[in-house]
Amino acid sequence: MAISKKEKKIKSNNQRLTINDKRLNIDVPYTANLANLKLSKSEEKLFPKQLKEIIGYVSKLEEIDTSKVEPIGHITGLESITRADIPAPSLSQEDALKNAPKTYNGFIEVEAIFEEQEDF
């Protein structure tokens, strides 16, 4: 099955990254936005260089051949830990709201995400 241009791009991104690779130029504003973080002016100036250095440092892992290695899961080997599906007491509604900055009628109040719209 043919792979799309987008898939090809992602695949090539996953290949070896070298220290001078332009892919190490992490797009800081884009990534900060993904993480819902607003940066100050000084952070916008400082972070690209610092992060590029760190990414350069951690990129040395590509020296190792891991083609035949499975990624590790739970470190001491636990699997499928379950408990009986029996409901039990948890936080009361009052407790759950204790730290909310804005509450209304037993609900946490949030900023509007939809705008009011005229009926058609």
Partner 1 sequence: MNNLDLTGLTIKEASQLLVKKQIKARELTQACLERAHDLNKKLNCFITICDAVALEQARRVDELIANNQKLSPLAGIPIGLKDLFSTAGIRTTAGSKVLANYVPVYDATVVARLKDAGAVFVGKTNLDAWGHGSSGENSDFGPTLNPYDLSRVPGGSSAGSAAAIASGACIAATGTDTGGSIRTPSAFCNLVGIKPTYGRVSRYGIIAMASSLDSIGHLTKTVYDNALLLNVTAGQDNFDATTLPAVVMDYTDRIEEGVKGIKIGLPKEYYEGLDKNIKKIVLDAVKVLKGLGIKVVEVSLPHTKYGNACYYIIQPSEVSSNLARYDGVRFGFAREKFSPEAKRRIILGTFTLSSGYYDAYYLKAMKVRRLIREDFVKVFKKVDVLICPVLPTLPFKLGEKIDDPLTMYLSDIFTVTINLAGLPSLAIPCGFINNLPVGMQVVGPDFSEKLLYQVGFAYEQETKWYEQRPKL
CB 38 within 8 A of CB 32: yes
Q: Which CB sits closer to partner 1, 40 or 117?
A: 40
Q: Which DSSP state fits 104?
A: E
**22 touching partner 1, by CB under 8 A:** no
**66 touching partner 1, by CB under 8 A:** yes
**3 touching partner 1, by CB under 8 A:** no
- The whole-angstrom separation of Cα 109 and Cα 103 is 5
4, 99, 105, 117: residue in contact with partner 1 (rule CB under 8 A): 99
What's the closest the beta carbon of residue 120 comes to partner 1, in angstroms? 32
**19 touching partner 1, by CB under 8 A:** no
Q: What are phi and psi of 104, to 5 degrees?
A: -150, 115
Structure tokens at 9: 């791009």
Three-class secondary structure of residue 107 per DSSP? strand
Question: Nearest Cα to 29, choosing from 20, 41, 11?
Answer: 41
**Which residues contact partner 1 (rule: CB under 8 A)?**
9-10, 13-15, 17, 23, 26, 28, 31-32, 34-39, 43, 46-47, 50-51, 53-55, 57-64, 66, 69-72, 74-76, 78, 81, 83, 91, 95-96, 98-101, 108, 110
